[in-house]
Structure 1
Amino acid sequence: MNLTPNRKEHREMSTIVSRVRAAYARIEAVARPEIWIDLRPQAEVESEARAIADRVTAGEQLPLAGRLFAAKGNIDVHGLPTTAGCPSYAYEPEADAPVVARLRAAGAIVLGSTNLDQFATGLVGTRSPYGAVRNAHDPARISGGSSAGSAVAVALGIVDFALGTDTAGSGRVPAAFNGIVGLKPTRGLVPTAGVVPACASIDCVTVFARTLPEAEQALSFMASPSARDLPPLPQRAPGPWRIAVPPRDQLGELDEGWAEAYEAAVEQLRSAGAEIRTLDLTPFTEAAAMLYQGAFVAERYTAVGSFVDKAIADGAADLDATVTGIITRARDLPAHQLYTDQDHLTALRTQALSELADADALLLPTTPGHPTLAEVAADPLGANARLGRFTNSTNLFDLAAVAVPSGKVNGLPFGVMLIGPTFTDDRLARIARDLEPSVQLAVVGAHLTGQPLNPQLLSLGARLDRTTTTAPVYRLHALATTPPKPGLVHVGEGGAEIETEVWRLPAEGLGRLLAALPRPMTLGSVQLADGTSIPGFLCEPAALENAEDITTYGGWRPYLGS
């Protein structure tokens, strides 16, 4: 039975508004106030949700309708102060930053601004007068910075995605520590207008999400493909993915179990068909050390140095001591050192790109380890420098990167990072799909290829694995649902083989699919013709009353074709 327009409108409104209410209930339940600098009033956000629902029911195309996101506190959100993690620095933006505006124009709803290492200076997530942002999985450990609050808001399921920034690794380190995805696009692909700069020449706006497809979808609305006038990339030579990895000794000291977890990621790509080759990591790690030890840190003084000097003179109490020390020391660097360092960096970049050669990506652990809050407090500069060993050079070399989860070590998330040449963002994401933990799913009806609900699978990053049949122990019935779908029921003797597609999708995506599954559909174990059993869509027996038995057709598509 088709829904009337009034019922459609009610459904859209209730769905989007209920997602907002669930997010605020989640904020209260997790009790992590340090995530946020400013949170929009719930009534205001619900009003925006109702307006978006009205636009959708009126026929407007809003691809991100009802998707919830958060923005790092150095990114302008109209109606909220931009603090960059420093209350006395706050200003009221006249408009959303372009990245925020583009997402809102597509129907996404921003909940608030998130906590960060002050002035985006740090990879730890503890350098803030709003409090240290604790890790989503272990509150005794750091969340990673500087985009700390954004990453934890995603990891704890409050928002669908969140914006961060990345100068030295701030869009990747927090992703690794919290078990989520972090996309760091090619510099300039996403506009940085309306963002308080850290080092303006190499800053990037990034996106966090729980799955790669969600992150890619958000990034597609943020990006400006013509932002840089570069010649097209050379065509890739045919063949399997070519992944570069360094010799084990060049990785340096890693936390216990991390070397084994990294090797497992290498083997996972090899098993997926990738060709693994070795490269010299030296130019990457030498350039990483230059970001803070060289003259490039002077750009941080250019960004906020005059404010910091005045705040110190005025006796401001909200400056982080570690951040203040980094910025003020940068003030006195001699100009000649910058030119020397630029020449050295150019040589290192040439060497690094030569090492990459025709490799599609460099695979690295995102960080060498995951410190506790106490360890960072005891050695703030040393701990931070170690965390940037693999990430600091990426923007200096003008490369793209994606950080993805790669299992757990001692119960905590472990993450790896793929780095590639300028504007290979899409390629890196395709390679990263081979690293995502995945599960199989058996579908027999409306989720089949070409059917109305198949886009749900595609949006979760699912890929068709194979077409087969069930074991001959099932009956198939046509249900009176919208859209039309069949019900698969296990009967044992008297059953038949039913056409089945087996899809592979991220494990987290299966949970999201289950949470949105309407009755009478259920998720259970489906036995296939080869004797194996995998998760699949089944039907509650009570829904079969008056439902036509269509088993003799052998599948949903033959029935529709009849």
Structure 2
Amino acid sequence: MGVTPETDTRTGPRTGPSIAELSRAFRSGEAAPVDVCRQVLAAIAERGDDGVWISVVDEEAVEVRCVELAAIDDPAALPLWGIPFGVKDSIDIAGWPTTLACPEYAYRATSTAPVVQHLLDAGAVLIGKTNLDQFATGLNGTRTPYATPRSVYGQDLISGGSSSGSALAVALGEVPFTVATDTAGSGRVPPALNGVLGYKPSRGVISAVGLVPACRSLDCISLIAGTVGDLQLVLDVVAGPDRADPWSRPRVHRGEEVADLVIGLPPLEQLEFFGDDPMAAGHRSARDRLSASLATRPVALQPFVDAGELLYQGPWVAERFVEFGDFLRDHPGAALPVVADIINGGAAFDATDVFRAQYRLAELKAVVGRLFEEVDVVVLPTIGTTFTIEQVLAAPIATNTVLGHYTHCGNLLDLCAAAVPAGLTSDGRPVSLMVLGPALADDLVLTVAAALSELGAST
């Protein structure tokens, strides 16, 4: 029981024990949190500088934490007692540096984000903070001054971003879950490219206090795990209203059975795979399994794509300039050139651009809202293709746009979403399905994600 250093040459995710499995082992005495956490640290050290972690707790601190947990009278009352986890390094933890993958920006946090505090209060053990695309700007994972992370599927494939390290820490079996973020797909694209599950809640269901924002009006805390059960368990711990978060709202519990739900599927001819025939075939196979098991109905894709195009082609990029523009002005050269160019591009928009985009977005929200009167959720590809690191570095903007083709719309349209592994292409790359639901349909999205996960596991 526990995590062992990766020493073979297999590709694909090697997720470790789930939260439920670790908890059973702790209760039975088969394993102890301190031993499991030591194994985690050994696995991280064995891999060396692989671009997954920016900072890692030392063994002495882990032992102190585990002694604290051992002194608790009723460990069973803490749902995450002894469970190791990681946190994306754009989220504050008191006493830890928050870097956003920019050493010159780094500061030592004086308070802990509520999402992390809830996990600690539930008995979880913090292992460290994970790598990301700098300033959470990018979906590819290459925009970091630290080691460049790579997909667990090899072939020099990108890891995805910006939550690159958060996805890899789970896919490598180092921790059962991580806390990440999602503005344009950062909590969905990296899981898709590493064969694990990513969940983007309805905005405000998990407090975003303590997150350094990329786009303050859109940002969500996201969760990455190896099983839907782990996502649901962690969500139960961290969800809840927060008066300090102006976008906070309570979670709505909906308990429909998956057999009673209608799944919206765009016609295949409306989907774009950017010339990637094996990916198109892999997605068709996954859709065939879905359609054979669940009730489906055709829906139009275009409103989702149109909304997504507003994110980087519209004035929302100005939110990044609001947050980081002064820093870039005062610290020339501190940011990677592609990141600085994107953020500084936000200065080109004015108030009339903002209002025009808001009017267009309102129109698209109304169209999508009517669509969700006919179906419970919509299932799309999470990604239409994959890229190698070389391809991304040669065309950083174009490839990033392609990666977000299906995910960019999520927060603009106020949707919740989950990315679910759905098999492999004929040449060994990951296929992923994305479940989209309307705001506060989180439970329905995770119910469908669980069903799709079982279908994927049966291939």
TM-score (norm 2): 0.88
Q: Give yes or no for contact 1:9–1:53 (8 Å, CA) kept in 2.
A: no
Query: Does structure 2 retain, via aligned residues, the 8 Å contact 1:9–1:54?
Result: no
Counterpart among 277, 280, 298 of residue 318 in structure 2 = 298
Number of paired residues? 429
RMSD of aligned residue pairs (Cα, Å): 2.6
Q: Distance in 1 between matches of 2:215 and 2:360?
A: 19
> Kindly tell me: are residues 507 and 244 of structure 1, through their superposed partners in 2, closer, same or farther at Cα, counting changes over 3 Å?
closer
Contact 2:289-2:455 within 8 A present in 1 as well:
no
Letter in 2 for 1:19: V
Residue 79 of structure 1 corresponds to which residue in structure 2?
Answer: 95
Equivalent of residue 125 in structure 2, options 88, 109, 112: 109
**AA aligned opposite 2:282:** A
Contact 1:126 1:132 in 2 (8 A): yes
Helix, strand or coil for the counterpart of 1:331? helix
CA distance in 1, matches of 2:143, 2:151: 14
- Check the 8 A contact 1:297/1:330 in 2, yes or no: yes
Corresponding residue number in structure 1 for 2:112: 96
Q: Report what 1:502 is aligned to.
A: none
The CA deviation at 1:328 is 0.6
CA apart distance, 1:67: 0.8
1:61/1:378 CA distance change after superposition, 3 Å: same
Structure 2 CA distance, aligned partners of 1:234 and 1:105? 26
Classify 1:235/1:407 alpha carbon distance in 2 versus 1 (closer, same or farther; 3 Å).
Answer: closer
Structure-2 change in CA distance of 1:369 and 1:239 (3 Å): closer
CA positional deviation for 1:405: 0.4
Aligned to 2:201: 185
Q: Are 2:345 and 1:324 equivalent residues in the alignment?
A: no
Which residue does the alignment assign to 1:480? Answer: none
Q: Is the 8 A contact 1:243 1:360 kept in 2?
A: yes
Q: How does 1:9-24 map to 2 (within 5 A)?
A: 15-24=32-41
The question of whether the paired residues in 1 share the 8 Å contact of 2:265 and 2:299 is answered with yes
User: Is the contact between residue 87 and residue 178 of structure 2 (CA under 8 Å) also seen in structure 1?
Assistant: yes
Q: Which segment drifts farther, 413-422 or 350-359? A: 350-359
Q: CA deviation at 1:309?
A: 1.4
Q: Write the distance in 2 (CA, Å) between the matches of 1:364 and 1:41.
A: 41
Aligned residue runs from structure 1 range 155-304, under 5 A: 155-224=171-240, 228=248, 240-254=260-274, 255-272=276-293, 274-304=294-324
Does structure 1 conserve the Cα–Cα contact (< 8 Å) formed by 2:264 and 2:298?
yes
The offset of 1:228, in angstroms, is 4.6
The amino acid of 1:79's aligned partner reads G
Find the aligned partners of 1:233 and 1:62 in 2 and give their Cα distance.
22
- Tell whether 2:64 aligns with 1:43: no
The more displaced of 159-168 and 137-146 is 137-146
Higher radius of gyration, 1 or 2: 1
Q: Which residue type is aligned with residue 335 of structure 1? A: A
Question: Structure 1's 340 and 282: CA in aligned 2 closer, same or farther, altered over 3 A?
Answer: same
Shift of residue 139 of structure 1? 5.9
SS at match of 1:165: strand
Aligned with 1:364 (options 377, 380, 385): 380
Does the 8 A contact of 1:71 with 1:113 survive in 2? yes
Asked if structure 1 preserves the Cα contact closer than 8 Å seen for 2:421 and 2:430, the reply is yes
In the alignment, what sits opposite 1:65?
81
**Equivalent position amino acid for 1:261 in 2:** G
* Contact 1:13–1:53 (Cα < 8 Å) also in 2: no
What one-letter code is carried by the residue in structure 2 that aligns with 1:345? L
The answer to whether residue 363 in structure 2 is matched with residue 342 in structure 1 is no
1:52 Cα deviation from its structure 2 partner: 0.9
CA distance in structure 2 between the aligned counterparts of 1:115 and 1:101, rounded to whole angstroms: 20
* Structure 2 Cα separation of the partners of residues 414 and 278 of structure 1: 21
User: How far off is 1:248 after superposition?
Assistant: 1.8
Q: CA deviation at 1:225?
A: 5.4
* Cα distance per residue 1:134-177 (max 9 Å; x no partner): 11221611000000001001100111100110000000000100
Q: CA deviation at 1:205?
A: 0.3
- 2:79 aligns to what SS in structure 1? coil
Q: Does 1:390 align with 2:406?
A: yes
Bigger mean CA offset, 274-283 vs 31-40: 31-40
The SS at the match of 1:406 is strand
Gaps of 5+ in 1: 1-7, 440-505, 509-562
Identical aligned residues as a percent:
37
Q: Which amino acid aligns with 1:256?
A: D
Change (3 A) 1:10 1:149: closer
Aligned partners of 1:13 and 1:50 also within 8 Å: no
Do 1:12 and 1:53's aligned partners in 2 also have CA atoms closer than 8 Å?
Answer: no
Deviation, structure 1 residue 412 = 2.4
Residue 140 of structure 1: aligned partner: 156
Q: Would the alpha carbon gap of residues 238 and 260 (structure 1) be closer, same or farther in structure 2, given more than 3 Å must change?
A: closer
Partner of 1:549: none
Matched, 1:128 2:128: no
Structure 2 residue aligned with 1:433: 450
Q: Choose from 426, 429, 432 the match for 1:412.
A: 429
Cα displacement string for residues 291-312 of structure 1 (whole angstroms, at most 9, x for unaligned residues): 0011111111111111111111
Q: For residues 425 and 233 of structure 1, do their structure 2 counterparts lie closer, same or farther at Cα, with a shift above 3 Å needed?
A: closer
2:132 and 2:164 in contact (8 A); partners too: yes
Which amino acid in 2 is paired with 1:111? Answer: I
TM-fit CA distance, 1:388 = 0.5
1:60 deviates by 6.7
2-side partners of 1:136 and 1:389: how far apart? Answer: 22
Tell me, yes or no, if the aligned pair for 1:289 and 1:392 is still in contact at 8 Å: yes
Bigger mean CA deviation after superposition, 360-369 or 407-416: 407-416
Mapped to 2, the partners of 1:429 and 1:234 lie a distance apart of: 11
User: How far apart, in 2, do the equivalents of 1:180 and 1:43 lie?
Assistant: 30
Residue by residue over 1:318-359, the C-alpha shift from the partner in whole angstroms, topping out at 9 and shown as x without a partner, is 411111001111112122101001001111111122233320
2:379, 2:434 within 8 Å by CA — same for their partners in 1?
Answer: yes
What SS does structure 2 have at the residue aligned with 1:368? coil
8 Å CA contact retained: 1:23, 1:159: yes
Residue equivalent to 2:441: 424
Q: Relative to structure 2, which stretch is displaced further, 380-389 or 295-304?
A: 295-304
Name the CA shift for 1:238/1:293 in 2 (closer, same or farther; >3 Å). Answer: closer
Higher-RCO chain (CA-CA 8 Å, sequence separation at least 6): 2
